[in-house]
Structure 1
Amino acid sequence: MKKFIITILFFGIAILASIVGVFLMADATTDPFYKKFTSSKQSSLILGSSRIAEGVNPSIINKELKGINSYNYAFTYNTSPYGPTYLNSIKRKLDTTIKNQIFILGVDPWVLSNDSHNPNDLKTFEEQDGFLGTLKTVNSNPNFDYLVHNYSEPYIKILYNNSPLVVQDDGFTKLTLTLTDDYIENKKKETLVNYIDKLKEYKFSTLRLDYLKETITYLQAFGEVYLIRVPIDFQLLEIENTLKSNFDEVINDLTTELKVPYFNFSNRGDEFNYSDAHHLLPESADKLSIEIATRIKQLKH
C-alpha cells in the first residue's frame, strides 16, 4: 500500500511539474492577451478595444513624445468595454507613482453599448465574468491565474506558440501574417455581416458612458487624457452609425464637459488599410500612431 501511494504521488508530482513547465513556456504568441498580464505596472496607458490593441503602437508614441513610456492595455469590444470591470483592471495595471502621463482612450459605439434588452443593467455586463473581471493579478510573470482560469485552448497549444497576433513588450498586438487581397476582402464581408447581426442585439448604454467619464476623471489625476475614434472601412462606419447616429455629438459634449481633446479619424477610412474592415494593418497602425502623437505635440505647444 505504501509503495502504491508513493507511486501515485510520484506520478502526480511529475504531471504537475509538466504542467508548470508548459506554463513557463507561455509567451507573447500564446494568445492576444496573456503577455499583457505578465508585465509590471505601467504608465501612460492606451485603452480600448481590439481596434486600439492593433491600431495604436506605443513604440511610435514613445518615440515621438519624449519622456513618455506608454503601454497598450486594450483588449476587445466585449472583454474591455467601458464599465466597472475595465476600470478596476486599469487601476490594477496603472503605476500611480508617475505623474504627467498621457492616456489614449479609443471610443466607438460598440465599447459604449451592451448586448441586452436593458443596456443600462449592470448585472448584464458580461465582461465581469471574463478574464478582466476574474483575474486577481494583472502583473505576474508567469501568470498562473490567467493560464489556469482564462486560457481557452488546450495547454498543448502553448508549446506551439503559433498565434498570428503577437503581443509586443509594450502591449501592442501585431499581426505577423502577410494577408492576400482575397483574404482581406473575404474577412471584410464576414465582418460586415457580423456587425449587421450585432445591430439586432446591441444598444447604446448611458451607464457605460458614465463609466467612460469616471475612467477619464480617474486618469486625469495622473496626466492628460485624449480620446480617439480610429478609422474604419466606410461600409462598416455606416453600420456603426446606425447603432448610435449622434455618437460624435455625444463624445464632443463629453470632451467639452471634461476638457479633453477628441481626435476623430472616422471620416478618413479610405486612407488606411485593414485586415478585415476595422483592424488596422501594422503599417497603417504606425501611420495612425504618428498622427496621434503629432496632434498631441501640437496641443502641448
Structure 2
Amino acid sequence: MNKFLFKIFLLIIFISLLHIIFSFFSDGSTDNFYLRLTSKKQNSMILGTSRSAQGVHPSVIDTVLKNKYQMYNFSFSVNNSSYGKVYYDAISSKINKNINDGIFIMTVDPWSISSKIGLDTTMIDHNSILKNLSNYNVFPNYHYLLKNYNKGWGSILLKKIEYKILLNKSSLENFNGSFTFLQHDGLLRVYTNMDSIYVENNTKRKLKHYKNYMSKNVFSNYRYNYLEKTINLLKMHGDVFLIRMPIDDNLYKLENTIFPKFNNQMNVLTKKHDLKYLNYTNIKDKFRYTDGNHICYTDAINFSNILANDIKNFLK
C-alpha cells in the first residue's frame, strides 16, 4: 500500500513538473489573451474589445507621440472586456498607480456598454476570463492557465511549434484561412486571407451573428456606470481619450438602428468629464476589414497613425 501511494506521489510530482516546464513555453501563440496577463503593470494603455485588440497598434502610437511611456494594448473581446466590474478590476490591477502622466485610449461601441435583455447584473461577465484572477501581471500566470486553459498544457508547446510552421508557409495576404499571434505589446495580430470572396463570406457571417445574437442586447446602466468609473480611475493617472473605431458600413447601420443614441451618450459623457470623443465611423470606407468588425492588420497601421496624430494635436 505504501509503495502504491509512493508511486502515486511520484506520478503527481512528475506531472506537476511537466506542467511547470510547459508553462515556460507559453507565449503569444498560447491563446488570444494569455500574454496580456503576464506582462508588468503599465503606464499607458489601449482599452476595449477585440476591435481595438486588433485595430490599434501600440508601436505606431509610440512612434507618433514619442511619449516617455510605451503604450500597451490591454483590450480583449466583447465577452471578456466590455465595461463592467470585472474589466475595471483588471484595469485597476494592471495600471501603475505611481504615474499621473500616462495616455489612455478607451475604445467604445454600443456592444461594450450593453447586455442581454433581463440579465441580472450579478451574472454580467460571469464567464469572463478576467474574472477573479489572483494576478494580472505575472509570468507564468498559473492561475489563468489552470482556470482557462483546458487543452492540456502540452499543447502550449505544440501551438508554439504550429505557429512557426504556419508563419513560414504563409503571408498575410494569401494564407488560406487565418491564425493569430498575440504580440508582446498586447496587439493581437491576425494572419488571414484578404481575398474579396473570403472576406465577403466572413463579413456575412459576422453580420448574421450580430443580427441574431447581439441584437438581443440593450443599453446597460450597469456597464455605462462602470465606463464612467473607469474614466475616473484613468484620469487620476493621465490623459484619457474615448474612441469609436471604424467598422463595415452594414454593421455600422445595424448598430445605429439598435442604439441610435450612442454617439449622443458619448458626447454627453465626454463633455461631463472634459474629454475628447473621437468618432472615426465617418472614415470607415478608408479601411479594409477581415470580417466587417475588425480592421485588417496593414490598414490598422494606417488607422493607428491617424488616431495618434489626432491625439498628438490635442496634447499640444
After superposition, the C-alpha distances for 1:73-120 in whole angstroms (9 at most, x for unaligned) are 0001121111111111100000111221110000000000001325xx
**Offset of residue 273 of structure 1:** 0.9
Q: What secondary structure does 2:130 align onto?
A: helix
- Name 1:38's counterpart in structure 2: 38
Matched, 1:269 2:301: no
Unaligned ranges ≥5, structure 1:
none
| Structure 2 residue 218 is the aligned partner of structure 1 residue 203 | yes
Structure 1: distance between partners of 2:94 and 2:214: 32
Amino acid at match of 1:84: K
Aligned to 1:281: 296
Separation in structure 1 between the aligned mates of residue 214 and residue 149 of structure 2, nearest angstrom:
29
**1:144 lines up with 2:142 in the alignment:** yes
1:161-172, aligned counterparts within 5 Å? 161=159, 162=162, 164-172=179-187
Amino acid at match of 2:15: I
Cα separation, partners in 2 of 1:191 and 1:152, compared to 1, 3 Å: farther
Partner residue in 2 for 1:76: 77
When residues 86 and 287 of structure 1 are mapped into structure 2, their CA distance, relative to the original with a 3 A threshold, is same
- The equivalent residue for 2:19 is 19
The answer to whether the 8 A contact 1:199-1:243 is kept is: no
Aligned to 2:133: 135
Residues 111-122 of structure 1 correspond to what in structure 2 (within 5 A)?
111-117=112-118, 121-122=120-121
Contact 1:204 1:243 (8 Å CA) reproduced? no
Compared CA separation, residues 97 and 265, structure 1 to 2 (3 A): same
Aligned match of 2:247: 232
Q: Which amino acid aligns with 1:72?
A: N
Cα distance between partner residues in 1 of 2:154 and 2:12: 18
Structure 1 residue 143: Cα displacement:
0.5
Shift of 1:268: 1.7
Q: 1:58 to 1:253 in 2, by over 3 A?
A: same
Structure 2: runs of 5 or more not aligned: 164-178
- Counterpart of 1:289, as a letter, is S
RMSD: 1.5
Amino acid at match of 1:204: F
> 4+ residue stretches of structure 1 with deviation over 6 A?
none
Kindly provide the CA deviation profile for residues 118-173 of structure 1, in whole angstroms up to 9, marking residues without a partner as x: 5xx42131x14422112110001000100001124343321222462211111111
Deviates more, 1:219-228 or 1:238-247: 238-247
Aligned mates of 2:110, 2:61 — CA distance in 1: 25
Q: Which one-letter code corresponds to 1:43 in the other structure? A: N
Contact residue 72 and residue 186 of structure 2 kept, 8 A: yes
Residue-by-residue CA offset, 1:220-260 (whole Å, 9 max, x unaligned) = 01101001000000001011112211211111111111110
Q: Which amino acid aligns with 1:69?
A: Q
Whether the 8 Å contact between 2:108 and 2:243 is mirrored in structure 1 is: yes
Which residue pairs with 1:98 in the alignment?
Answer: 99
Determine whether 1:189 maps to 2:204: yes
Find the aligned partners of 1:156 and 1:240 in 2 and give their Cα distance: 41
Tell me how far apart the structure 1 counterparts of residues 241 and 255 of structure 2 sit (CA, whole Å). Answer: 21
What is the alpha-carbon distance in structure 2 between the residues aligned to residue 199 and residue 90 of structure 1?
A: 25
Matches within 5 A, 1:228-267: 228-267=243-282
